[in-house]
Structure 1
Amino acid sequence: MIFETVVSTVSADGKPHLAPMGVRYRGDDVILMPFKPSATYDNIVGTGHAVLNLTTDVRVFAGCVTGRRDWPLVPAERIPGMRLQAALNHVELRLVEERADEQRPVLRMARVHAARHGDFAGFNRAQAAVIEGAVLVSRLHMLPAEKVREEIAYLQIAIDKTAGPDEHEAWRWLRSAIASHQAAMAVVRDATAIQKQAQKQTPEQKS
């Protein structure tokens, strides 16, 4: 099973970085599979540490995939790193094994310390919809536009029925990112069409 979390890391010079990430639990260890290249991968390999943050503030998920990564952080307790201030729970991790892969290396992380900071009442449907929407936004470059439209239309039902102010704000960020991407793709398609039309013209037509 894959669980959606927010992973915080720091670079070798102490610059923090947040990234939503699906993780697996294997006994007491945590399995991370960051994309390569990525700041998360570089930071973990460079420092040997990461922090797993569990939160119901889905604005963090939506924010990270729409360029809003400046969320309040506090120092980790046992490792050199930072944790999300809004985390209900956090787990401090140490890298113990890397299985190389050109695209997504497998990092086995050992638990160094865990702490609870609040109660988890469970995700409502809107929060789950925002997380799914954030995954879609992170893969806009890989997915057909029609699939994105279908998925967003379905997720919109949960937003309309169960979202609170935070979920509505996060959803607006995601919809805006999708609209911007689709507009950019339309410009590319128009430019391509014009170029193809020009290539089909005879020398007389071009003159």
Structure 2
Amino acid sequence: MMIYDLEEIEELGIFDGINEIIATTENKLGAFNAAPLGLIRRGDVLSVRLFAGSHTYENIMSKGKFVANVSHDPMLFVETALNDIPEDKFVERDGELTLKEAEAWALFKCEPKNLDIALPEVEFVKGEVLEREFRAVNRGINLVVEAAVAATRYVALKSDLYLEEIFRIRRIVGRCGGPREIEAMDRLDELIERFD
């Protein structure tokens, strides 16, 4: 089901607050990139926080757009946080670069501005619901996303505080998560070791 109206954006799973999505972008040479990104919604105002120097920042600055992929797969968040995923994980839908495993996707345009950490507002263009399933909240997936965010900060800042946070999260995921969340935490540990 295609959506073109901002008033229907909740159909895509995007609600008020910070929505953890996986952004897909292309660089000037056509290389694909996927990375977790916080899409912030406050009523009708949408914005994202980007950090200068990241592939996502550079690609959005050059193209003026990105696709927000909605997913509940903890492994996808871990892989895209610290790793480049293969091109066969991407697919074109309605002319836009999306992830094959997305449950929904949304195209956003933005006016590139040279800012160090933020791109204040983005504009919803269109999106599509690909899969709609009911699920209870699993603390495990939310914690895996938190651990992936902490891992990116650890890699960038090399502060042991982030490793301590990941260790604490791992214990809770072991109690609350399912096999996929536990597997994702194991993979996160492997990826972090590459940067040490």
Pick the TM interval, shorter chain: 0.7 to 0.9
Whether 2:88 is the aligned partner of 1:75: answer no
1:83 and 1:108 map into 2 onto residues whose CA distance is 21
Structure 2 partner of 1:105: 118
> In structure 1, which of residues 52, 64, 67 is the aligned counterpart of residue 68 of structure 2?
52
How much identity, in percent, do the aligned residues show? 24
> In structure 2, which of residues 97, 100, 103 is the aligned counterpart of residue 88 of structure 1?
103
1:164 and 1:4 map into 2 onto residues whose CA distance is 20
1:35 and 1:28 map into 2 onto residues whose CA distance is 23
2:100 and 2:82 map into 1 onto residues whose CA distance is 20
User: Letter of the aligned partner of 1:156 in structure 2?
Assistant: R
Structure 2 partner of 1:151: 165
- 2:77 is paired with a residue whose SS is helix
Structure 1 partner of 2:12: none
1:110 and 1:116 map into 2 onto residues whose CA distance is 18
Structure 1 partner of 2:9: none
Structure 2 partner of 1:136: 150
Unaligned runs of 5+ in 1: 185-207
Q: TM-score, normalised by structure 2?
A: 0.79
Deviation of 1:69 (Å): 2.0
Distance change in 2, residues 1:75/1:107 (3 Å): farther
Deviation of 1:29 (Å): 4.8
- 1:2 is paired with a residue whose SS is strand
User: Letter of the aligned partner of 2:170 in structure 1?
Assistant: Q
User: Letter of the aligned partner of 1:47 in structure 2?
Assistant: K
Whether 2:132 is the aligned partner of 1:115: answer no
User: Letter of the aligned partner of 2:130 in structure 1?
Assistant: H
Unaligned runs of 5+ in 2: 1-16
How many positions carry a matched residue from both structures? 177
Q: Is the 8 Å Cα contact of residues 89 and 101 (structure 2) preserved in structure 1? A: yes
Structure of greater relative contact order (alpha carbons < 8 Å, 6+ residues apart):
2
2:124 and 2:163 map into 1 onto residues whose CA distance is 40
Q: Is the 8 Å Cα contact of residues 4 and 21 (structure 1) preserved in structure 2? A: yes
1:149 and 1:46 map into 2 onto residues whose CA distance is 33
* Deviation string, structure 1 residues 55-83 (Cα, Å, up to 9, x no partner): 00111111123324226111131xx5311
Q: TM-score, normalised by structure 1?
A: 0.75
- 2:157 is paired with a residue whose SS is coil
Radius of gyration: which is bigger? 1
Q: Is the 8 Å Cα contact of residues 140 and 173 (structure 2) preserved in structure 1? A: yes
